[in-house]
Chains A and B, each alone.
Chain A
Amino acid sequence: MTADVIVLGAGSAGLAAAVTAAREGAKVVVLERHGFAGGMGTASLVHTFCGLYLLGEGPPRLANPGFPAEMAERMLRATGDDGPVRMGRVWVLRQHPVEFVRIADELFRESGVEVLFHSEALRAERDGDGWTVEAVCRGQRKVLKAKALVDASGDAVLADLLGAAAERTESALLQRPAYVFGVQGVVEAEEGLALAGRIVDGVRRGELPKEALGLHFRSSGRAGEIFGSIDLSGAEEGDYDPLDAGCLSRLEVRGRQVASAAVDFLKREAAGWAAAYVSHWPVRAGVRESRRWIGRHVLSEAEVLAGTRHADDIALAAWPLEFRETTRGPKLRFPEEDRAAGIPLGCLMPRDLDGVFAAGRCLSCDHGAQASLRVMGTCFATGQAAGVAAVLAARGEAVEGTLLRLRELHGSPE
């Protein structure tokens, strides 16, 4: 099987990269471990798109044109919402995981991307001017060849397969994982602050585990359906290691225990919750941070906070630094004058390799910058740029042309 571009992962970055590359005329194959696309926004039930809109006062303005704007539009059409909602100092777009899956299917079909669900990359190596990638589906192997690769795996899986330069934040500082689950059967129920007070009371009385302290519920936008979200420590036994199956397994089980205990408690004590039940579990807990590529540019926390722009910016980072280093809720840090920093092309380009591009939350940046860049709205933007860059590389053209091509397609950001 031969393609121009192989994309690892069909989360928000991989979806954007694959669809963009296919629209540029490339033959694109995507490898995705689940049976659907969307990553954190579907498998992990993260139900808001963050990073789509610029910070600051006034009406919402999209930070990045092209694919991010198109996703916002398609999602609004699907949910029927009027637009983004203001949460404190930021705008977020409510999104529904079920709609996200369907929109991704449509985008793949319309653009002609070949998707291989249930597939994981097992091996990757240089092959002449291009690359060979071996994928596995239930023990059955498939060899694929391509001229360029995009790593949108979220965990920089390809960096590890290629033995390329990558880094990991020390365990104690890693952003804690989110655990999001669906709940139905809640009717005209206690919510918001009163519910928050009740949950604290439950923890105080020992009826609820301590982890429930961060639990909050938000309407999914569909009648009778809400999502519950908690942050877990990931250190249920030993240090948090988001790349270790044992650690992730304990995390999944703990998430289900805490969620079940919380819903049982609210059924007993909160008005309107008597008939509540957990209606769906996430396919996986929402890992926020793990392994990252080391690229030609490593975007720093200081650059994001200063709203730094570079000559070769391919996207803007419009989300504040959202630290989740503890389970005690997010700590937001806003850039100077709410100015969005630029993400230069060098963040997508591995330090020592040509023909490979990183996108999404595993691109090249430090721990602090990743606290801003990891969100889905920004992943759409970096994925889009990686798609354009990969097509140029596959054609043997200069990758620096990515900026010009993005501008031709969509105009300048802001």
Chain B
Amino acid sequence: MKEMPTAEEVVAMLREEGIADLEDGFAADGNLFEAGMDSMAVMQLIVVVEERFGAVIGPEDAGRENLETPEALARLIGRRTA
């Protein structure tokens, strides 16, 4: 079982994959949608998370509460890898 990623790792992933154009030191509780992540980027995100972490994010997970901030996303990935 893999460990849940940190919010910093999530930010790094979003930047490396070009999913969101985040500044250096983007806050763990920063709002990713306000930073420009849209539903199209979310599709890429789901694919990348599956590739990198083996975490399968289903349609029922794709809500703001799970995707809005790096820390929420880290928690979701942790739950879906477990």
Which residues of A does B touch, CB under 8 Å? Answer: 87-89, 192-201, 204, 213-216, 328-334
8 Å CB contact of B58 from A87, A192, A197: A197
- CB of A329 within 8 A of CB of B59, answer no
- Asked if A200 contacts B63 (CB within 8 A), the reply is no
| Assembly CA distance A214 to B45 (angstroms) | 11
Q: How many CB-defined contacts (below 8 Å) exist between A and B?
A: 70
- Considering only CB atoms, which chain B residue lies closest to A212 in the complex? B43
* B36 & A201 in contact (Cβ 8 Å cutoff): no
Bound-complex Cα distance A216 to B42 (A): 10
* Closest B residue by C-beta to A333: B21
Are A194's CB and B63's CB within 8 A? yes
A-B contact pairs, 9 of them (CB 8 A): A88-B37, A196-B40, A199-B43, A200-B43, A200-B46, A200-B57, A213-B47, A216-B43, A328-B44
- Which residue from chain B places its CB closest to the CB of A87 in the assembled complex? B38
- B64 to nearest A CB, angstroms? 7
Q: Which residue, A88, A213, A331, has most C-beta atoms of chain B within 10 A?
A: A88
Is the CB of B61 closer than 8 A to any CB of chain A?
yes
Q: Are A216 and B38 in contact (CB under 8 A)?
A: yes
| Count, chain B residues at interface, CB 8 A | 27
When A331-B18, A332-B36 are in contact, do A194 and B43 touch as well, CB less than 8 Å?
Answer: no
In the complex, what residues of A have CB within 8 A of residue B35's CB? 88
B62 to A213, Cβ gap below 8 A? no
B60, closest chain A residue (CB)? A197
Smallest CB-CB separation from A329: which chain B residue?
B40
| Contacts A193-B64, A329-B43, A333-B21 known; 4 new A-B pairs at CB < 8 A | A193-B67, A196-B39, A198-B59, A200-B46
Q: Is the CB of A329 within 8 A of B62?
A: no
Residue B61 contacts which of A192, A197, A332 (CB distance < 8 angstroms)?
A197
Most buried by B among A204, A214, A328, A330: A328
B residues near A329, Cβ cutoff 8 Å? 18-19, 40-41, 43-44
User: A260 to chain B: closest CB distance in Å?
Assistant: 19
What are the residues of chain B within 8 A of A196 when measuring CB–CB?
39-40, 42-43, 46, 62
Q: Is the CB of B38 within 8 A of A201?
A: no
Q: Which of A88, A197, A333 contacts B59 (CB 8 A)?
A: A197
Which residues in A have their C-beta under 8 angstroms from that of B56? 204
List A contacts of B34 (CB < 8 A).
88
The residues of A that contact B42 with a CB separation of less than 8 Å are 193, 196-197
Q: How far is the CA of A218 from the CA of B7 in the complex (A)?
A: 30
What residues on B are CB-neighbors of A331 within 8 Å?
18
Residues in A with CB closer than 8 Å to B61 are: 197
